[in-house]
Amino acid sequence: MRSLLFRTTALLIALGGLAACSADTSKQTVSAPAAKTAAVQKDAVYAPRQLVMRRLSGEQYQNVIHDVFGPTIELGGRFEPDLRVGGLLAVGSGDVSITAAGIEQYDTMSRRIAGQVVDEKRRDMMLRCKPANAAAPDDVCAGQVMARVGRILYRRPLSQTELQAYVTAANVGAVKTKSFYAGLQLSLAAMLSSPKFLFRTEMSEPDPDHAGGWRLDAYSKASQLSFFLWNSGPDQILLDAADSGKLNTRKGVAEQVERMIASQRLEEGVRAFFIDNFGFDQFETLTKDTTLFPKFSAQAAADAQEQTLKTIVDLLLKNKGDYRDIFTTKKTFITQELGAIYRIPVVDTLPNGAPDTWQPYEFAATDPRGGILTQVAFTALHSPPGRGSPTLRGKALREVLLCQKVPAPPAAVKFDIVQDTNNPLYKTARDRLAAHANNPVCAGCHKIIDPIGLALENFDGAGAYRTTEQGAKIDTSGMLDGVNFTNAAELGKVVHDNPATTSCLVNRLSAYAIGRPVQEAAWLDDLKQRFSASNYQLPALMREIAMSDNFFAVVQSETKAAATEAAPQREAR
Amino acid sequence: MNNLVMNKLASRRNILRGSAYGAAITVGVPFLDCFLNSNGTALAATGAALPVCFGTWYQGLGFNPGRWIPSTVGPGYKNNVELQVFDPFRDRMNIISGTKYFLDGRPLETHTTGWQIASQGAIPTGVSTGASLDSQIADVIGTRTRFRSIEVAIGGGRQSFSKRAGSATNPSEPSPAALYTRIFGPEFKDPNAAEFTPDAMTMARDSVLSAVKEERRDLMKLVGAADKARLEEYFSSVRQLENQLALEMQKPDPLPACTVPGTVAATKDGPDVPDAEKNAKIFGRLMAHALACGQTRVVNVTLGSNGLHSVGSQQTWHSLTHEEPVDDKMGYQPEVTWFINWANARFVEFLRELDGVKEGSGTVLDRMAILWQTDHSYARTHTMDALPIMIAGRAGGRLKTGMHVSLPGDPATRVGLTMQQAFGVPIKTWGGLSNETSKTVTEILA
């Protein structure tokens, strides 16, 4: 009975967010009605989505460049800030554009990259052809280069018109500069800042498996698979599978999904998801007061993110572990920089003493550390510059890991009486928050965020362990959704066992995969069951999402609604 | 005079070229005399007035109630204690008090909603929003400069309230060294340089961009309406780039007050007060030079109040507003007030930089208006009424200054509307729901 009640509560929270955490339950909305798909619906799970045009992330841009031109190419620019929607930058990428300041950056990067490609030392290897005359235009060589590079950058073959535009551009440039290579550089740079490269535009076609329904075309499928699993554009094999029509068969998709999941490159895709979901982009602007936290160097901040990612990759990919164990695992990796914060001596065993050498480390069973919540990346990221913050940490746990929305604090609240850090009556954060939470306006929300945040009070603003604050012993006991714990390690176990933990991952990963929050409860439920059946193996969940019909199912775009009357097939490029 | 000496002179002075009896002569004269009319308000050659410029300064967390509103209204007001730092500019500023941001039943996202109303006039319902007022003004006055606008963030990060319509935010530059390179790097063309040779690579870039224009635009045919709008924003940004190339290919009109600032070394950007203070100073100088050199006509400054932090303190300015007790004797929060004074000193410093660039009898500040706004009037309790607003500069005579105008209970958007109309944005009303207004602040319109 208790477990049923508990589950119901968790479900309600998952559906309605925590809008009701003060007292007002009247405004809760339960999930949006399913789209009108009855005519084409094959089963309860079918859930086509809108087409979405996504801007490449900085990482994706870099990965594609390295795929085409090799890892030694330097970008030397800065990307526009991304936008977080529904907890994910991957979803926000479907809403952003490119500003004037942004295009300046893309333009500078493009010319720099193209300059490296046509550099005298590399050009023969990179271009694989030579002009008849290096001081004049050359249609053949320019055409070969632009067609080959264009296929990777545009993630599909160029149309004749497109190819001709780039050959003309290279020729015009060659004439003006009296150099074939300078002309090619400029043409290549123009392609690198083209919207067809910078935005992933999806194309659709009628779906024979769902009469009247639509699906992504084969090249859009290739892109969606590849950005989801590898965080980069499709490779030649995947594009070949699109060319040959194999991606329009379930068998063909399965072959590619298996190949991609078996590849080393899956790690890049897994990392990209967790970097996005955990909000590691916020490290860019994270600062710590170096007089209070002298060990929290820039290197330590970088290592902290890497530590969490390494922990996850090692557990979920290398050891095929259970996703829930990321909250309890005692195994991690450590560097000398991190060792200073964790107070663990890290002996560098390499003769040249490289400071960032990673070493595996396992905390003792009795150690208060264990799981990613107790790692520096979590505790330091969700803290202001000069101290820790149970409220920020508790809010992050709810929002990032349990997918529950914590509302903003109400206006016109006075904090000073209860939050005077010099007040001898309220020495610890728990004392101060308890006094604060006596205010009924604040109490509702603080009740759901503070107890879990307070469990992490043994870790200061930079993530170092402590047992007292201002001489008073820190009490880390609390309760999460009805389950008690006494310290951070136990909190990890409670999060491990909370059903919201795995359903949140399913919600986020599916939204990440298709670039839109998934509203269809039936599809999510189906994925959750399959995730559970796999013993919560992350690659298994990725496979389920990639192999689901919904991964490619779309609704007809408004442009096509007008165009398809005459031409029901995929539009010509 | 040998060529070397002549070149040196030419680089320091402007050169008048003419011809006498068919032979080219070159005469160097001090530029103030030769290019400006006697008032310094217009270019002598064309008679055109020096262009007006606009700026925004977003400084969060408000002021202390009772310490900033002048006791009298109208001209000749006396600054209250927190604004006394602005005394040297009093006659060239306006203080607007009493206005509000209206929520209309929408939830207050603290330190967000106020900014949205201040910059966009309304609380957006989704990711896609209207353009911010500086963008509207830039579309009128900033279309022929290298940069439609320049955004900087004091205190690190890339926060900016400058938005194009839709979802594009013009990101702030946190690093003065990067801003220097962007404006005064290799692509900068000194308007006062004697010699001008268009660069072959620049001309080739321009031609290449033309050659791929159609190929790029055909993407528009393949996307839905919302994505079309996003692509339009992209193409508008590309036009700005083409505009930059076009400007690089022609000899710019001389601007006598333009001098190129010295190179800027890399600094640490972040919310620690000493870094922010150092960077604010350099940003001010760079923006003054950029405006004087005609590189842009719109500048937007975000002073990242929330994260600002004194070295060695556990607290940020923002956390202090909530957590620092009001001192019984003083009647205000002392550390918070320290930050308010610190930030106001940065704004004064910025005004000094702009005022330091002399153009005849006036200065760059005189042909500007800088709108100072905040998110909450009193951050301690997140209030949004009795908001402080300041305007510095006369916008080349379009505004009257030296006034304290009290508009109790009126929407703050009245001031934003006034600014947009003063700069020629063709709108009659501005803002959404209760923040919508068609009333300008006539007291300050010239």
Interface of A with B in 207-226 (CB under 8 A): none
| pLDDT value of position B226 | 87
- Please indicate, yes or no, whether residues B5 and B75 belong to a single structural domain of this protein: no
* pLDDT surpassing 70 at residue A414: no
Average pLDDT over chain B, rounded to whole? 88
Shared domain for B312 and B219, answered yes or no, is no
Q: Is A95 on the interface with B (CB under 8 A)?
A: yes
Q: In chain B, which among 182-211 make CB contacts under 8 A with chain A? A: 182, 200-201, 203-205, 207-209, 211
Separation between Cα atoms, residue B170 and residue B193, nearest integer Å:
31
Q: What is the pLDDT of residue B90?
A: 97
Residue-range definition of the domain harbouring residue B230: 199-250
Do residues B394 and B363 touch, judged by C-beta distance below 8 A?
Answer: no
Q: Would you place residue A458 in the very low, low, confident or very high pLDDT band (cuts 50, 70, 90)?
A: very high
pLDDT single digits (tens) B74-96: 999 999 999 999 999 999 999 99
Helix (H, G, I), strand (E, B) or coil at B224: coil
Cα separation of A89 and A515, whole Å? 9
pLDDT of res. A8: 39
Stretch B172-184: mean pLDDT, rounded?
Answer: 96
Answer yes or no: do B127 and B178 share one domain.
Answer: yes
pLDDT at A352: 64
Report the CATH number at residue B93: 3.40.720
Q: What is the pLDDT of residue A441?
A: 73
Q: Are residues B174 and B52 part of one domain? A: yes
A72-81, A527-536, B130-139: segment of lowest average pLDDT: A72-81
Q: How confident is the model at residue B387 (pLDDT cuts 50, 70, 90)?
A: very high
Neighbouring C-alpha atoms within 13 Å toward the C-beta of A138: 19
Least trusted range by pLDDT, from B220-224, B366-370, B438-442: B220-224
Mean pLDDT, residues A114-118 taken together: 97
B180 and B204: one domain? Answer: no
**What SS3 state is found at B98?**
strand
pLDDT at position B306, please? 81
The pLDDT of residue B126: 79
pLDDT band at A306 (very low <50, low <70, confident <90, very high): very high
- Give me the pLDDT at residue A10, please: 40
Quick one: what percent of chain B has pLDDT higher than 70?
A: 89
Of the candidates B71, B107, B76, the one whose C-alpha atom is nearest the C-alpha of residue B90 is B76
Contact at CB, B233 and A199, closer than 8 angstroms: no
| pLDDT reading at A15 higher than 60 | no
pLDDT score recorded for residue A30: 33
Predicted local distance difference test score (pLDDT) of residue A405:
87
- Nearest Cα of chain A lies from the Cα of B389 at a distance, in angstroms, of 21
| Residue A209 structure tokens | 């498996």
Same domain, B308 and B162: yes
Say yes or no to pLDDT of B110 above 80: yes
Q: Which residue in chain A is spatially nearest to B309 when comparing CA positions?
A: A385
Which residues, in sequence order, are bridge partners of residue B340?
none
Q: Which of B148, B201, B240 sits opposite A177 (nearest CB)?
A: B201
Residue B311's pLDDT band, with cuts at 50, 70 and 90, is confident
At A469 the pLDDT is: 85
Determine whether the interchain pair A559/B313 forms a contact, defined as Cβ–Cβ distance below 8 Å: no
DSSP B129: B
Report pLDDT for A350. Answer: 64
Q: Provide the pLDDT for residue A434.
A: 78
User: Cβ of B313 and A81 within 8 Å?
Assistant: no
Which of A91-95, A253-257, B26-30, B110-114 has the weakest average pLDDT? Answer: B26-30
- Which residues have a Cβ under 8 Å from the Cβ of A114 and sit 6 or more positions away? A184, A185, A186, A188, A189, A192
Residues B404 and B424 in one domain: yes
Chain A nearest CA to B382, separation (Å):
5
Q: Which residues 400-459 in chain A show a CB within 8 A of chain B?
A: 407-417, 419-421
| B6 and B70 belong to one structural domain | no
* Whole-number percent of chain A with pLDDT over 90: 67
B70 and B169 assigned to the same domain: yes
Count of pairs with CB atoms under 8 A, one residue in A, one in B: 214
My answer on whether B385 and B263 are in the same domain is yes
**Residue B109: is its pLDDT beyond 80?**
yes
Q: Which of residues 467-526 of A touch B (CB under 8 A)?
A: none
The pTM of the full predicted model, rounded to 2 decimals, is 0.83
pLDDT of residue A388: 84
Predicted confidence at residue A422, as pLDDT, reads: 59
Q: Is the pLDDT of residue A90 over 70?
A: yes
What domain count does chain B have?
3
Closest CA to A14 of A33, A30, A2, A38: A30
Closest CA relative to residue B205, chosen from B251, B231, B183, B238: B238
Is a pLDDT exceeding 80 seen at residue A1?
no
Residue B11: pLDDT above 80? Answer: no
Confidence of residue A407 (pLDDT cuts 50, 70, 90): confident
User: Residue A341 pLDDT > 60, yes or no?
Assistant: yes
3-class secondary structure, A469 = strand
The per-residue pLDDT for A408 is 74
Per-residue pLDDT band for A77 (boundaries 50, 70, 90) equals confident
* Residue B24: count of CB within 10 angstroms of its CB: 8
Site from B108, B125, B227 to mutate, A interface, most A CB atoms within 10 angstroms: B227
Give me the torsion for CA of A194, A197, A200, A201, rounded to 10°: 50
Contact assignment for A419 to B322 by CB distance below 8 Å: yes
The answer to whether A197 touches A185, Cβ cutoff 8 Å, is no
Domain parsing of chain A, residue ranges: 56-200, 271-497
Mean of all residue pLDDT scores within chain A: 86
pLDDT score, position B204 = 96
Reported as a single tens digit per residue, the pLDDT across A96-113 is: 999 988 999 999 999 999
DSSP codes joined into one string, B4-34:
HHHHHHHHHSEEEEEEETTEEEEEEE-HHHH
Q: Are residues B52 and B85 in the same domain?
A: yes
Longest CA–CA separation in chain B, Å: 83
User: Per-residue pLDDT averaged across A337-359, rounded?
Assistant: 77
> Which residues of chain A from 302 to 361 reach within 8 Å of chain B, CB to CB?
none
Q: Which residues of B touch A177 (CB under 8 A)?
A: 200-201, 204
Q: What percent of chain A has pLDDT over 70?
A: 85
CA distances from A189 to A192, A346, A400, A496 (A): 5, 46, 38, 48
For residues B130 and B144, membership in a common domain is answered with yes
Q: Residue B16 has what pLDDT?
A: 34
Pick A290 or B432 by higher pLDDT. Answer: B432
Residue A62 has pLDDT above 70, yes or no: yes
The residue with tokens 């190929």 is B215
Residue A39 touches partner B, C-beta closer than 8 Å: no
pLDDT above 50: residue A84: yes
**pLDDT at residue A348, as a whole number:** 67
